Amino acid sequence: MRLLIVGTLEGQLITASKIAMDRGASVTHAATIEEMLKVLRAGRGADLVMADVGLDIADLIERLEGERFHLPVVACGVKTDATAAVGAIRAGAKEYIPLPPDPEMIAAVLAAVARDQSSIIYRDAAMASVVRLAEQIAPSDASVLVTGESGSGKEVISRYVHARSSRANRPFISINCAAIPEQLLESELFGHEKGAFTGAIARRIGKFEEANGGTLLLDEISEMDVRLQAKLLRAIQERVIDRVGGGKPVPVDIRIIATSNRDLAEAVRAGTFREDLLYRLNVVNLKLPPLRERPTDIVELASHFVERYARENGVRRRPISEEARRMLLANPWPGNVRELENTMHRAVLLAMGDEIDVDAIRMPDGSPIAPGRSADARLAADVAATAEAVSRALVGRTVADVERDLILDTLDHCLGNRTHAAKILGISIRTLRNKLNQYTDEGVNVPGPGEARIAVA
């Protein structure tokens, strides 16, 4: 676990550092947000940021997102600083730790991050065979290609392989090839020198160098431009990379794991993926079955998510009723584990009685799940219904009204998480925050983190 502590709370943060190191974490300290960014640009990396609540947490998170450092942030401060604590959570911090630090709380936060990164929940025989293969090949340095539908757990199994490899104590670095514009992906992978291109204000170490000695996950590699694939192939074959604007090769020692939700053999035939790169990546293939083909895992995962989100939201953990279990098992889950997770998170917040019943198992728009329908039929019906509803709803409305509803509905879908909502909307968190402040001033109900707007008939 790599912990980056940001701030200057004198002895309090020093104590927190010592507690974290006693619990096995490697700790780096930065006094300011700018120093934090310098540490991350230098490739020293982090799995968790613990920030002094006296800093501008919203700005800190926005700066991280702006430079594509996707890290969980925990705020910490003196116990009496309640207003700042609430502000930090609303800005996107995952947790607030009061100081002086409690060793058990520090340990719990570190354990939660580690657990989220490397745990895997399964019971079904179809998934068990994949896990057995993952355990068998984990100690090697062979490249691994993980395939499966979106939301089936490709990154989870990748972290599982890393955690059981000889590189487990070294970094696990992930990069989503589909989420980064083509013109920036090369710099993200291989780094760049200062002045290499417009906006390159300082040297930045790429993911290959950051992962040196550990594992690099190339998520959704099928989305990588074919021209960049040639440079990736050279890096894998020769174990050297060239920074953008750099003058000499840099040696690297990493294990490559790649994921794809598309048929790469078909992509090779279509000319969008290099055949020689596929051979390099596909030494071992871990093919994850979709959730509908591993029914024994559905209730197991649902119970796991109920326990997790009840704890995170500070609500009582309720068991899942028998009728709700039957509904979960009958649903085709086209979004796989990710869809199930979101559904159970919603159910934890909506449940009213002693159990999580069918009334709490709902779609994001509040409609009940319709079990037993095929994924394709359900998707087609949903698309048609949504298109018709959107068309009718927009007529006669102003652009400002439509924008407001879109922002608030997205925030509602993200359960009040500003950072996630801003990502989906394609705007900065600062822009989102300004819009929400405007709506609050206008008397509009804006949900806080973990809250959802409840429509009253």
* SS3 letters across 297-341: HHHHHHHHHHHHHHHHHCCCCCCECHHHHHHHHHCCCCCHHHHHH
Confidence of residue 325 (pLDDT cuts 50, 70, 90): very high
Architecture in CATH of 2-118: 3-Layer(aba) Sandwich (3.40)
Q: Work out the end-to-end distance of the chain between its first and last CA atoms, rounded to an integer number of angstroms.
A: 48
Instruction: Tell me if the bond preceding 100 is cis, omega within 30° of 0.
Output: yes
Query: Please, which residues have CB within 8 angstroms of residue 98's CB and are 6 or more apart in sequence?
Result: 76, 77, 78, 79, 85
- List Cβ<8 Å contacts ≥24 apart for 172-175: 172/117, 172/211, 172/214, 172/215, 172/217, 173/45, 173/207, 173/210, 173/211, 173/214, 173/215, 173/216, 173/217, 174/216, 174/217, 174/219, 175/207, 175/216, 175/217, 175/218, 175/219
CATH, domain range 396-457: 1.10.10.60
Q: 145-149, 195-199, 206-210, 380-384: which has the minimum mean pLDDT?
A: 380-384
Distance separating alpha carbons of residues 160 and 119, to the nearest angstrom? 7
Asked if residue 162 has pLDDT above 90, the reply is yes
Chain region(s) in the chain for CATH 3.40.50.2300:
2-118
Instruction: For residue 221, give the DSSP letter.
Output: G
Q: Report DSSP state, residue 415.
A: T
Instruction: Decide which of 1.10.760.10, 3.40.630.30, 3.40.50.300, 3.80.10.10 is the CATH code for 125-289.
Output: 3.40.50.300
pLDDT of residue 184: 85
- The continuous run of DSSP H or E covering 276 comes out as helix 275-281
Residue 3 parent element (H or E): strand 2-6
The Cβ of residue 454 has, within 10 Å, a number of other Cβ atoms equal to: 11
Paired tokens of 434: 């300004």
Start-end ranges of CATH 3.40.50.300 in the chain?
Answer: 125-289
Tokens of 59: 């700005």
**Which range is least confidently modeled, 288-302, 376-390, 391-405?**
376-390
Is 306 in contact with 298 (CB distance < 8 Å)?
no
Tokens at 117, concatenated: 């990164």
Taking residues 68-88, what's their average pLDDT? 78
CATH 1.10.10.60 maps onto the chain at: 396-457
Span 170-200, pLDDT tens digits: 889 999 998 888 778 988 899 888 877 777 7
Furthest CA-CA distance within the chain: 66
Nearest to 449 by CA among 426, 425, 418: 418
148-156: average pLDDT: 92
* The predicted structure's pLDDT at residue 370: 66
**What are phi and psi for residue 29, nearest 5 degrees?**
-120, 140
Residue 385 has pLDDT above 50, yes or no: no
Reply yes or no on domain 296-393 having CATH 3.30.300.180.
Answer: no
Q: How far apart are CA 28 and CA 329, in angstroms?
A: 46
CA dist 252 and 325 (Å) reads 49
Q: Which two tokens stand for residue 405?
A: 């509803």
Q: Is the pLDDT of residue 136 over 90?
A: yes
How far is Cα 307 from Cα 344, in angstroms, rounded to an integer?
A: 10
The pLDDT score that the predictor gives to residue 446 is: 82
Query: What is the predicted pLDDT for the residue at 377?
Result: 42
| Cβ-contact 156, 301 below 8 angstroms | no
| 117 has a pLDDT exceeding 70 | no
Section 117-133 average pLDDT: 83
**274, two tokens:** 């290099």
Q: What is the pLDDT of residue 240?
A: 93
Please give the average per-residue pLDDT across 133-143, as a whole number. 94
pLDDT higher at 56 or 312: 56
- The string of pLDDT tens digits covering residues 203-257 is 888 899 999 999 999 999 998 998 899 999 999 999 999 888 887 889 999 999 9
Predicted confidence (pLDDT) at residue 347 exceeds the cutoff of 90: yes
388 band by pLDDT with thresholds 50, 70 and 90: very low
β-bridge mates for residue 287, sequence order: 147
> Is residue 258 pLDDT above 90, yes or no?
yes
Region 361-382: mean pLDDT is: 62
Q: Measured at the alpha carbon of residue 354, what is the angle toward residues 353 and 360, in degrees to the nearest 5?
A: 50
What confidence score (pLDDT) does residue 368 get? Answer: 82
Written as six digits, the tokens of 349 are 């917040």
What is the chain's mean pLDDT, rounded?
Answer: 83
Q: How far apart are CA 37 and CA 339, in angstroms?
A: 33
Average pLDDT estimate for 325-352? 92
> Model-level pTM greater than 0.85?
no
Cα(34)–Cα(140) distance, integer angstroms: 39
Residues of the chain with CATH 1.10.8.60: 296-393
